[in-house]
Amino acid sequence: MNGRDIRAVILAGGRGTRFWPLGREARPKQFLRIAGPDPMLLDTVRRLRPLVPPRRMTLVADAAQTKKARELLPRLGREAFLVEPEARNTAPALMLATARIWLEDPDAVVAVLPADHLIRDKIRFRRVLGAAAEAAAREDALVVFGIPPTYPATGFGYIRHDRSKGRRIGGVVFYPAEAFKEKPNLALADEYLASGDYAWNSGMFVWRAGVFAAKLERYAPECVPAWNAMIEALRSGSAAKLRAAFASAPALSIDYALMEKARGILVADGDFGWSDVGAWSTLLEIWPRDKRGNAARGETLALDASGCLVWNPGRLTALVGVRDLIVVDAGDALLVCDAAMDQRVKEIVEGLKKRKKYRKYV
C-alpha cells in the first residue's frame, strides 16, 4: 500500500538536556551526530524518503529549531516547515499539523514520527509504516507503533494488548490496544515484560486526518474548541488567530489528551530495531565496542579500562583503570559520569541554569 498518500509529520522540536555537554538548548538531540554520522533528524527524513516524498513531509518545531532544520534540509520547501507558535507539548502540535493536512484532504494518512529516534532496520520500518497506513485507512483506527520490550524499562510508557488477538495486515501484526500505561516502576516493568502482553509506546502514530478529528470529538471534547479554532485560523491565513487557537489548546501530550482515552486503537508490532536514544549510556548499545566493551568517537587508548563511552572526536582520549564511565568532551565543557547515573546529567544542566556565569554552557 505504498501508493497511499502518507503525510509524514516529523516532530523536530524535541528539547532535552540528556546529551549535555554536546547537546545544548540551541543544539538538541535531533541535530546531534550521535547515533550515526549524520544528525538524527536527517536520518529520520532519509528513512522516510522511499515512502514519503518531501512535499508530503511536515516538520514541526519552534522558530529557532525550524531555522536549524531548514539549513540541514535545504531541499524541503518552505511549506514543509510548520512553526509552533509556542511550546505546548505534543497534543497542540499534532492537532495543528493534522488540521493543516485535514484541510487539504481529510482522507490523507498522517504518520507522526519523532525526529530523534534510532531505527536499525529501515526496510522493516517502512513496511510497518505502509501497513499501518493501510490499517489506519481501512479500519478508521488510530495506530500506534508498539515496540517489543527487551528489558524492564522504567523510562517508557507501555501499551497493553492481547497477544492472542493479533491480525496480519500487509505482513505486519496489529493488536487492538487495551490500555495505555504510564512509566512503571521496576517491579511493574518486570511484570509487563514477563506477561508478553505489553509493548513500549514509541510515540509514533498513524491516523487518517478525518479519523483523528472524529476521535478528538468523541474522546477529547476539551480539545475540540481549539481544533475548530485552528481550522478557522488556517483557513483565514491569520497568524494572530493561529497563535490564539494554538494557545487555547490544552498543553498536554497526545497520549494524555487522546490516546489513553480513545477506543479503536491498533498497536502495530514495531519490530524494526528501535531506540529512543534516551541518554549517553544507550549509545553503548548502538556504537561498535572493543573487546573490553568500550565505545568511542575520537581516537581512544584504553589501558585496563572497560565499559566506557567516549565522545571526543578530533582529539585523543586515554582511559586508565576506569570502568563504566561516560566521557564527553564538547570543547568548552567536559562531562565525566558514571554510566549508571547518566540520568542525572540533567541535574547538572539545572545547576548551570541557576548561575549567570554558567549560562553559556546550557
Distance CA 147, CA 193 (A): 12
Nearer to a copy of itself, 203 or 278 (CB): 278
Dihedral sign, CA of 279, 285, 287, 293? Answer: positive
Burial class from Cβ neighbours inside 10 Å (0-12, 13-18, 19+) for residue 235 reads exposed
- Among the residue ranges 9-17, 39-47, 80-88, 331-339, the one whose residues contact a copy of itself (CB under 8 A): 331-339
Nearest to 173 by CA among 47, 266, 48, 276: 266
Single residue of 319, 353, 356, 359 touching a copy of itself by CB under 8 A:
319
Single residue of 107, 187, 304, 359 touching a copy of itself by CB under 8 A:
304
Q: Is 338 in the site for a copy of itself (CB under 8 A)?
A: yes
Q: Is 362 in the site for a copy of itself (CB under 8 A)?
A: no
Nearer to a copy of itself, 121 or 347 (CB): 347
Q: Is 26 in the site for a copy of itself (CB under 8 A)?
A: no
Nearest to 319 by CA among 339, 333, 344: 339
At its nearest, how many Å lie between a copy of itself and the CB of residue 215?
42
Distance CA 14, CA 21 (A): 16
Single residue of 243, 340, 353, 356 touching a copy of itself by CB under 8 A:
340
Residue 227: count other Cβ atoms within 10 Å of its Cβ. 23
Q: Is 356 in the site for a copy of itself (CB under 8 A)?
A: no
Single residue of 332, 353, 356, 359 touching a copy of itself by CB under 8 A:
332
Query: Do residues 30 and 101 lie in contact, with contact meaning Cβ atoms separated by under 8 Å?
Result: no
Distance CA 13, CA 86 (A): 11
User: CA dihedral defined by 220, 95, 98, 101, rounded to 10 degrees?
Assistant: 120
Distance CA 20, CA 24 (A): 6
- Among the residue ranges 22-30, 48-56, 143-151, 317-325, the one whose residues contact a copy of itself (CB under 8 A): 317-325
At its nearest, how many Å lie between a copy of itself and the CB of residue 298?
9
How is residue 225 written as a grid cell? 474548541
Single residue of 186, 299, 313, 359 touching a copy of itself by CB under 8 A:
299
Distance CA 193, CA 62 (A): 36
Nearer to a copy of itself, 115 or 327 (CB): 327
Single residue of 155, 238, 336, 359 touching a copy of itself by CB under 8 A:
336
Between the alpha carbon of residue 338 and those of residues 16, 300, 323, the distances in Å are: 19, 18, 8
Distance CA 242, CA 58 (A): 17
Distance CA 18, CA 349 (A): 9
Single residue of 16, 70, 322, 353 touching a copy of itself by CB under 8 A:
322
Single residue of 124, 335, 356, 359 touching a copy of itself by CB under 8 A:
335
Query: Do residues 41 and 56 lie in contact, with contact meaning Cβ atoms separated by under 8 Å?
Result: no
Nearer to a copy of itself, 250 or 307 (CB): 307
Instruction: Name the DSSP letter for residue 257.
Output: I
Burial class from Cβ neighbours inside 10 Å (0-12, 13-18, 19+) for residue 195 reads exposed
At its nearest, how many Å lie between a copy of itself and the CB of residue 295?
14
Nearer to a copy of itself, 202 or 317 (CB): 317
* Residue 21, preceding peptide bond in cis (omega within 30° of 0): yes
Single residue of 13, 21, 114, 184 touching a copy of itself by CB under 8 A:
21
Nearer to a copy of itself, 268 or 327 (CB): 327
Nearer to a copy of itself, 10 or 327 (CB): 327
Q: Is 269 in the site for a copy of itself (CB under 8 A)?
A: no
- Among the residue ranges 187-195, 244-252, 270-278, 296-304, the one whose residues contact a copy of itself (CB under 8 A): 296-304
Please report, as ranges, the residues that interact with a copy of itself according to CB under 8 A. 20-21, 299, 301, 303-304, 308, 312, 315-322, 325, 327, 329, 331-338, 340-342, 344-345, 347-348, 351-352, 358, 361
